[in-house]
Chains A and B, each alone.
Chain A
Amino acid sequence: MRAALVGNPNVGKTTLFNALTGAHQEVANWPGTTVDYVTGQVGRQGAGEAIELVDLPGTYALKAYSQEERITQSFLLHEHPDAVIVVVDASRLERNLYLVLDMIAFTPRVVVALNMMDAATRDGLEVDAERLSELLGVPVVPTIAARGAGLRSLLTRVREAARRSQGAEPAIPYPERLRRELVAPLAARVAALGPGVAHPPVWVALELLQGDDELRRSLTALPGGRQVVEAAHQSAARYALGGAQVRHGPAGGGPVARDAAAPAPEEEIALLVADSRYAFIAQLLAASTRRRLWRRDGTERLDGLLLHPFWGYVIMACVFSSGFWLAFVASAPLSLRVDRALVALGGAAAGQLRLWAAPAFLRSLVLQGLFPGVGAVLSFVPYMAVFFAVYQFLQDTGYMARASLLVDRFMQLIGLHGKGFFALVSAYGCNVPAMTATRVMENPRDRLLANLVIPFIPCNARLGVMAVMTAAFFPGAQGAFAMIGLILISLATLVGVTALYRRTLLPSDPAPLVLELPRYHWPSSRSVLLATWHRVWLFLSRIWWFLIWATIAIWALTYFPAGQPLSRSWAGAIGRVLADLVGRHYGFDWRLMIAILFGFVAKETTLSTLGVLFGSTSGYLSLTHALRQAMTPLAAFTYLVVYMLYVPCLSAVVQMRRESGGWRWAALGVTVNVAVAFAVGLLVEKAGAFMDVRL
């Protein structure tokens, strides 16, 4: 049997999912979206039928506003799970129960997991699960997912629920008139549509009256469905006009005039339904919960510090720098090990190839093409993994919401959304996880914009190359200024390009920031590690194909025509053409143009590529010497500007394609990147020449 896990965001749904399924999980992607979902098999906890669990994105109600909520809605409407587990936070019942009521109306096969019971007890709240269960008409099982408590009884109830065909209806005090005049007759008409409607008629009627687009769409597809949808709209309009509902207007008193700006009748009904439900929830809470003692919320106290107008920002700077530092330090030994393993593997491969008397081109392909190219990407995977982990950790604690809040005002001024802040900051580490991090933004246009501008932020690999070249051309303090100058240029470009996109292709204002600030809690290491593992695996499984082909292509360009020195290879020819067309204006010779071209695959290889191109394979010192011969300091600075901005690595481009939902946007992004990079580079070059900069 299959069971779906639903719940508000931040209630411990995924923790519960992980506790129930352990390592038996699989990540998949909802087709046509950037949302991943996880399914898992429940372990042998209590005998009984095997259960496949689906962890659905968090939602506040069945009606959907973000892409993620639409997925939850879609799954529930079309996939017909055998049971639905609604996870609620015991210490945040008032709002959580809203979704529970929504789900109960939708299907009788509901089980409520009353999670975070420990937090509730700590806050001094007592919840009578039995009483709650009586009043709701569905089983309510107390759980502490982080500790694995209550899971066995939960599973028993879930198996029972799957067999339930009729549910007890909780006594929600909908207005009598609504029930009698609207819901009942409409439900009858829906029922008359026959078995094509897979959901309880009363629920369908209620949803139509509230104006559910998704439902309208599926009903219209059925014979006779369109008339029912029409009828629903008519009844709603008549009911609203009938005006027994008087609402206070904004000016303080008196009924609202029926003018063009008045909300649709469906909205009035939605309000009524919400009111009735919350009234019922108040009754539920009065009957089944009790506050033993009044303790000021730990979260609120901590927020006093973390959202402090001054200290909040200081702490945020510390938290993020520690995150970077940790990623760097923790991943270094792992990276080293990956490198060593690759070298060993390379040696073994070389031996094997010699043994087989493999032809020269194959030896070259494997040892000078595949190994360096693929190896470069593999050795930054540890860094990326730690980054994903840090991000997940910060997200799970609830801190990311606070950070978004602290920076929202400033982000708004630039034209970006507060929720995208961490994505931008983490781009300095690596663009790839940064693009994944944009998913917290609900509005797809905001997400797209963030993805398009992230490449303008130099990642760690690029920063490394910049540092080396800066040191080569600008010794001492000058080097520091040069680096700062470069970073400022990248920030200015970021702001400029964002403004450009906002004014042309993506003009919508940033979506309203409606951010829930969850209670702080220490995430379970298992959840963090599992999430990180999923992300890394997804990344690798998507990139390897492109990577191998790109590496082979680059190798082929430098190898053929066989037997020729590098300058006469195809790559050399391309490099010379590019240098004639473009590089000339900047002071870049063919070798530098090739390095730029090849830097597309992986930034980490740039230095070694330059080394090969300049014929200095004995380390950085000889490389810097060779470089100083090949260009002026101004040309070097210009080169770094272009290099910093022009395009992210192949992995990032593939990720961009994934996040934007197609090659079209990724192609546009890359084109803009290249164009802007060379434009800014030209500006720098001309400005430098104009000011006759002598370095």
Chain B
Amino acid sequence: MAWTWRLSQLPAGSRAEVRAISGHAVFRSRMLALGITPGSLVRVIRQMPLGGPLEIEVRGTTVALRLRDAAEITVTLQA
């Protein structure tokens, strides 16, 4: 079984597959609408300084999330 990580833990350049999304129901639905669903592939582009938001690419679009919210997304790393 692959190691799972929180999205907020990944460094820039990582590619990962989403496994599960926890957190508030509104947040989860928002993620769904944006295409961040279990099984989707994400790429971490950068993290803003001093604990700022995380910029990721998913399904061809670029989205930014606060670290606290990105921590609710569980992923497995791709090679």
Contact = CB atoms under 8 A, between A and B. Distances in A.
A230 interface: no
B32 A274 contact: yes
A57 to B, nearest CB: 14
Interface stretch (A93-101, A320-328, A364-372, A486-494): A93-101
A514 B35 contact: no
Contacts of A95: 34-35, 59-61
B25 A267 contact: yes
Nearest to B35: A95
B44 to A, nearest CB: 13
Contacts of B64: 401, 405, 513-517
A516 B63 contact: yes
Given A250-B74, A278-B40, A516-B62, A409 B35 contact: no
A392 to B, nearest CB: 22
A270 B64 CA distance: 23
Contact of A408 (B3, B27, B46, B48): B48
A517 B4 CA distance: 27
B36 to A, nearest CB: 9
B2 A252 contact: yes
B50 interface: yes
Interface stretch (A58-66, A186-194, A464-472, A601-609): A58-66
A619 interface: no
B57 to A, nearest CB: 8
B19 A250 contact: yes
A92 B60 CA distance: 6
Nearest to A309: B49
A516 B20 contact: no
B38 interface: yes
Interface in B7-56: 19-20, 22, 24-35, 37-40, 45-46, 48-53, 55
B1 interface: yes
Given A65-B26, A95-B61, A263-B28, A513 B49 contact: no
Contacts of B48: 307, 309, 405-406, 408-409
A263 B64 CA distance: 24
Contacts of A309: 48-49
A275 B39 contact: yes
A359 interface: no
B30 A65 contact: yes
Contacts of A299: 62
Contact of A271 (B1, B24, B38, B49): B38
Contact of B46 (A60, A264, A307): A307
A249 B1 CA distance: 12
B1 A252 contact: yes
A300 B66 CA distance: 19
B20 to A, nearest CB: 5
Given A307-B55, A408-B66, A409-B48, A514 B34 contact: yes
Nearest to B27: A512
A337 B49 CA distance: 46
A405 B54 CA distance: 9
Contacts of A292: none
B69 A513 contact: yes
Given A248-B20, A252-B1, A513 B59 contact: no
Contacts of A401: 64
A60 B33 contact: yes
Interface string A82-105: 000000000111110010000000
A253 interface: yes
A248 B55 contact: no
A247 interface: yes
Given A95-B60, A271-B37, A247 B20 contact: yes
Interface in A40-86: 60-61, 63, 65
B29 A63 contact: yes
A251 interface: yes
Contacts of B68: 512
A517 B62 contact: yes
A512 B67 CA distance: 10
Contacts of B20: 247-250
A267 B60 contact: no
A309 B47 CA distance: 9
A513 B53 contact: yes
A250 B22 contact: yes
B5 to A, nearest CB: 10
Interface in A226-261: 247-253
Nearest to A248: B19
A65 B33 contact: yes
Nearest to B49: A309
B38 A247 contact: yes
Contacts of B66: 408, 412, 512-513
A270 B29 contact: yes
A339 B31 CA distance: 52
Contacts of A263: 25, 28
Contacts of B19: 248, 250
Nearest to A406: B48
Contact of A252 (B3, B45, B53): B3
Contacts of A249: 20
A94 B69 CA distance: 23
Contact of B4 (A251, A275, A300, A515): A251
B37 A300 contact: no
A513 B65 contact: yes
A488 to B, nearest CB: 22
Nearest to B67: A409
Contacts of A250: 4, 19-20, 22, 74
Contacts of B52: 405-406, 408-409
Contacts of B28: 263, 267
A270 B29 CA distance: 9
A408 B51 CA distance: 10
12 contacts: A94-B60, A247-B20, A250-B19, A267-B25, A267-B29, A270-B32, A275-B38, A405-B53, A418-B53, A514-B30, A515-B63, A515-B65
Given A95-B59, A98-B35, 19 more contacts: A94-B59, A95-B61, A248-B4, A250-B4, A250-B20, A274-B37, A278-B39, A303-B45, A309-B49, A405-B55, A406-B48, A408-B48, A408-B53, A409-B50, A512-B65, A512-B66, A515-B64, A516-B64, A517-B62
The 6 closest A-B pairs by CB, nearest first: A409-B52, A60-B33, A517-B62, A94-B59, A253-B1, A515-B64
